[in-house]
Amino acid sequence: MLRCDVAVIGTGGVGSAAVAHLAQAGASVIGLDRYSPPHIHGSSHGQTRVIRMAYFEHPDYVPLLHQAYRGWSDLQQATGRSLYFPTGVLQIGPEAGEVIAGTLRSAQEHHLAIQRIAYDEITDVFPGVVAPEDCVGILERDAGYLLVSECIQAYLEQAKRHGANIKTDSPVQSWTRIGQTFELRTASEVIHAGQLIICGGAWASQLLADLKVPMTILRKHLYWYANDASAYTSQAQFPVFLIETPTGIYYGFPQIEHGVKLSRHDGGEPIASAAQQNQNEDPADRRALEAFAAGHLPLLSKNLLHREACMYTVTPDQHFLVGTHPEHDGLHFAAGLSGHGFKFASALGEILCDLAMTGQTSSPIEFLSPRRFS
């Protein structure tokens, strides 16, 4: 039997950050993952993730984004890795739409610097982009992207350097509260922990079933296309972009290595459980994405270089679940990140560390409590 101060289930984006923060805080910590991270079987893969401050999803995320930016900067300095790239983020959509109206609301409420671009100026400023009719653009120059696998590797290296025990290929079969201790069982071991943190991604609906918050798992597809015209590169001052169209919300990145990455943020294929995840192609999803690219990224090649599938774990209101379990003192979690959580991983890892070490956090997470569904 193994014993530790804190056990962390899941060592992807948030879990790796939590393990690292705990180890640096002096806790004896065991991190467990059913695979060997970083891997392609969950939600934290696919080369890149957007990070932006003027957050259209809700203004209450902005203070957590300030914390996240500081966390990524600290990790870069501690490891010497380049993890964050401020290419700028261009968001395009109708003025009253979800993206632009939400972005303006966050920017106004938190006094964030953004640049408004009129519809007839978007293509002049960013050749290679054709905006949908009656749309405007907002450029956030200090936003950009994170390298997903490199961020996870950096946190796991930090965790191990400070004494964390990382157990890969070790699915947790069950956890049980026994007195003041949590008992975790894998196929080969029993672990007793004083505190438990669950960052289970698409497996969270099973691991946190007694929260009674429904979480939908969506299979999402990521595509990389050839950049034959070389228009869509950061060297050509091309930013990360997100475009709201009548048929969906699409996003993409400038070419980094193998092509220009594109995906659709809304939509997705519901699957019953994470065990049903696979890397099979969805022809309808690809046709919709290529129709978007043909209309709005006309210089992009139609040559598909690479494709992957990942999972969104979506709550009913598409906001996160973060906090301490209402029925199990000592059990803390970050779940249901709904396809927009990776950028917060540095902050959420620190918050989970605070909760496990002190029972409280000064970070404003009350709006993410599962109590909102009571």
Q: Which residues pair with 366 in a beta bridge?
A: none
pLDDT confidence of residue 325: 97
Over residues 138-183, the pLDDT tens digits come to 999 999 999 999 999 999 999 999 999 999 999 999 999 999 999 9
Is 56 inside a domain boundary?
no
Q: Say yes or no: 103 and 222 in one domain.
A: yes
> pTM of the predicted model, to two decimals?
0.97
Respond yes or no: is residue 49 known to be catalytic: yes
Q: Say yes or no: 169 and 274 in one domain.
A: no
Catalytic residue among 11, 21, 41, 48: 48
Catalytic residue among 135, 199, 310, 353: 310
pLDDT confidence of residue 182: 98
Over residues 330-353, the pLDDT tens digits come to 999 999 999 999 999 999 999 999
Is 62 inside a domain boundary?
no
Is 183 inside a domain boundary?
yes
Q: Say yes or no: 131 and 154 in one domain.
A: no
CA angle 156-66-315, nearest 5°?
75
Over residues 118-132, the pLDDT tens digits come to 999 999 999 999 999
Over residues 205-241, the pLDDT tens digits come to 999 999 999 999 999 999 999 998 888 998 778 999 9
Determine the structural domain holding residue 275 and report its residue range.
89-141+216-314
pLDDT confidence of residue 230: 85
Whether the pLDDT of residue 204 is over 90: the answer is: yes
Q: Say yes or no: 220 and 266 in one domain.
A: yes
pLDDT confidence of residue 1: 87
Over residues 10-55, the pLDDT tens digits come to 999 999 999 999 999 999 999 999 999 999 999 999 999 999 999 9
DSSP 62-113: HHHHHHHHHHHHHHHHHH----EE---EEEEEETTSHHHHHHHHHHHHHT--
Respond yes or no: is residue 192 known to be catalytic: no
Lowest mean pLDDT among 201-205, 232-236, 303-307: 232-236
Q: Is 165 exposed, middle or buried (0-12, 13-18, 19+ CB in 10 A)?
A: middle
Catalytic residue among 219, 265, 296, 332: 265
Are the beta carbons of 321 and 315 closer than 8 angstroms? yes
% of the chain beyond a pLDDT of 70: 100
Is 67 inside a domain boundary?
no
Q: Say yes or no: 308 and 328 in one domain.
A: no
CA angle 229-231-234, nearest 5°?
135
Q: What is the mean pLDDT of the chain?
A: 96
Catalytic residue among 21, 34, 49, 221: 49
Q: Say yes or no: 192 and 309 in one domain.
A: no
Catalytic residue among 41, 220, 261, 340: 261
Respond yes or no: is residue 265 known to be catalytic: yes
Q: Say yes or no: 177 and 296 in one domain.
A: no
pLDDT confidence of residue 44: 93
Respond yes or no: is residue 45 known to be catalytic: yes
Q: Say yes or no: 176 and 293 in one domain.
A: no
Q: Say yes or no: 226 and 302 in one domain.
A: yes
Q: Say yes or no: 132 and 154 in one domain.
A: no
Of the candidates 228, 221, 296, the one whose C-alpha atom is nearest the C-alpha of residue 262 is 221
CA dihedral 219→40→87→115, nearest 10 degrees, is 20
Q: In which band, very low, low, confident or very high, does the pLDDT at 319 lie, cut at 50, 70 and 90?
A: very high
Q: Say yes or no: 41 and 124 in one domain.
A: no
Which DSSP category does 141 fall into?
Answer: T
Sign of CA dihedral 246, 249, 250, 251: positive
**Structural domain count of the chain:** 2
Is 59 inside a domain boundary?
no
Is 14 inside a domain boundary?
yes
pLDDT confidence of residue 14: 98
Catalytic residue among 219, 221, 264, 343: 343
Catalytic residue among 34, 41, 45, 332: 45
CATH of the domain at 255: 3.30.9.10
Whether the pLDDT of residue 78 is over 90: the answer is: yes
Respond yes or no: is residue 245 known to be catalytic: no
CATH of the domain at 194: 3.50.50.60
